[in-house]
Amino acid sequence: MAEERISLSEAARRAGVSSATLKRWAAEKVVPVRRGRWTAAAAAQARVVARMRERGHSLADLKRAGREGRLSFGFVEDLFPAPEEQETVEDVSRATGLEPELIERILVILGTPLERERLLTPEDVQALRHCARVLAAGFPLVAFLQLVRVYAQSLRRIADAEVRLFHLYVHEPLIRDAVPELEMAEEMEELASDLLPLASPLTDYLHNRYLRFFLEQDVIGHMEADLGATRDLGQVPVTLCFIDLTGFTRYTEEEGDLEALDVVERFVETVEATLPPEATIVKTIGDEVMVVSPDAASLTEWAVGLLGRLPERPQPRVGIHCANAVYRDGDYFGTDVNLAHRVVSRAQAGEVLVTGRVTDAIDDRDGLTFEPIGEVSLKGFPVPTPLFVVTATP
């Protein structure tokens, strides 16, 4: 790919430093410039150097880091040019009809730290116009703020994974191969510019696919729900399931972090590949997975079958409970969620342990046997809880 030639003054503008400073950095080989010809990649690297200087790094350290290719990721910002126009919160409030306090609240949820003088870009303004239209259409504010928080948290994880995986599997191999720094920056820029346009279509495809699925699940849930039951606003009837690996900390100490990570990946992949269609993974935390489902019977059957697929150490164990849980920000909260988590902590390796609410919901399902183990005291719960070990009927 042909290099984009730019003038020294343009390079200085992009880097945010004077032309004299750029010339000095080029002469000292802090920023590599071929035959005095400035390029977009060199200007991007100069901008990184300028920022690192502001953070107190010496030119000698930056020169060494540049030679090793550790600054070559700076080109990425050229794919997102900074707009020159900026507006205040008050200007945007007048343009969108949103109260300044609500704008500030949305920006905090989106992860934008508050500053003494808030200036917003045209992209910020466009996003806030969308927010205003959603609220004007009648969507409740409390639900809207939760939805924005879920979007922000999910997309933050996506962007973090994109950058980290690009670094691990593209940037670091180039560093190990001792590719010259400008060549490295240009190669990474070319690959990223080819990949970036693919992200939004793939995200839109997955969003529409899952939206269709969960709309169908919601309709089914309404049809099968106990219409006579009452619950607080924001609560949903759900079967809660926690799965973790027994003795995982000791296993990690004995086998090492990499082997333990491989075990967790195989464990989570097995859960993902075998889950019933209506069940959903809410989150994974280390060696623990939280799953929810509207169907207690299919989830319990799956859990019993899962343990048969993973007989080796460290073995999983499962705790299941049915309840009305508070749904907030894409997660589930409340006393009953804590109870389900306590249940799995009492299960033995290779054991599925459920509460009486699960046995009542399943109602003598063919193929499952429930063995009562009595009323068990669970940490944080003053009243003992009847628990049952579930196995496949011989």
**pLDDT(290) > 70:** yes
- Provide the 3-class DSSP secondary structure of residue 333: strand
Distance CA 292, CA 57 (A): 48
Predicted local distance difference test score (pLDDT) of residue 352? 94
Q: What is the pLDDT of residues 353-389, one digit of tens each?
A: 999 999 988 876 668 888 999 888 888 888 899 999 9
Q: Quick one: pLDDT at residue 268?
A: 87
How far apart are the C-alpha atoms of 252 and 250, rounded to whole Å? 5
Mean pLDDT of 325-352: 87
Of the spans 188-197, 241-250, 324-333, which averages the highest pLDDT?
Answer: 241-250
Please choose, from the candidates 32, 36, 35, 33, the residue with its C-alpha nearest in 3D space to the C-alpha of residue 71.
Answer: 32
Mean pLDDT of the chain: 81
Determine which of 69-78, 106-115, 134-143, 369-378 has the lowest per-residue pLDDT on average.
69-78
> Under 8 Å CB-to-CB from 225, ≥6 apart: which residues?
237
> 330 vs 336, which has greater pLDDT?
336
**The pLDDT of residue 320:** 95
Q: Looking at the DSSP assignment, which residues form a beta bridge with residue 327? A: 332
The highest-confidence range among 6-15, 175-184, 265-274, 298-307, by mean pLDDT, is 298-307
Which has more confidence, 349 or 81? Answer: 349
C-alpha distances in angstroms, 317 versus 131, 242, 283, 369, 387? Answer: 43, 8, 17, 17, 14
Confidence (pLDDT) at 219: 60
Residue 39 to residues 48, 93, 169, 189: CA-CA distances in angstroms? Answer: 14, 40, 25, 12
Q: What is the mean pLDDT of residues 227-256?
A: 78
Question: 232 pLDDT exceeds 70?
Answer: no
- Do 291 and 358 meet the contact criterion of CB atoms below 8 Å apart? no
| pLDDT score of 321 more than 80 | yes
With cut-offs at 50, 70 and 90, classify the pLDDT of residue 155.
confident
What is the band of 216 on the pLDDT scale with cuts at 50, 70, 90?
low
pLDDT of res. 84: 59
First to last CA, the chain: 66
Most confident of 121-135, 191-205, 208-222: 121-135
Percent of the chain residues past pLDDT 70, beyond the cut: 85
- On the question of pLDDT at 116 being above 50, the answer is no
Confidence bin at 228 (pLDDT 50/70/90): very low
Cβ atoms of 293 and 276 within 8 Å: the answer is yes
d(CA 37, CA 49): 18
pLDDT of residue 227: 44
The pLDDT score that the predictor gives to residue 331 is: 81
Q: Would you say residue 244 has pLDDT above 60?
A: yes
The mean pLDDT of 52-63, rounded to a whole number, is 82
C-alpha atoms less than 13 angstroms from C-alpha of 112 in its C-beta half-sphere: 15
How does residue 122 score in pLDDT terms, banded at 50, 70 and 90? confident
Q: Is 8 exposed, middle or buried (0-12, 13-18, 19+ CB in 10 A)?
A: middle
Residue position matching structure tokens 């990690």: 252
Residue whose tokens read 């790094």: 57
Q: How confident is the model at residue 223 (pLDDT cuts 50, 70, 90)?
A: very low
Point out the least confidently predicted range of 133-142, 188-197, 259-268.
Answer: 188-197
Checking if the pLDDT of 171 tops 50, the result is yes
- The verdict on pTM exceeding 0.75 is no
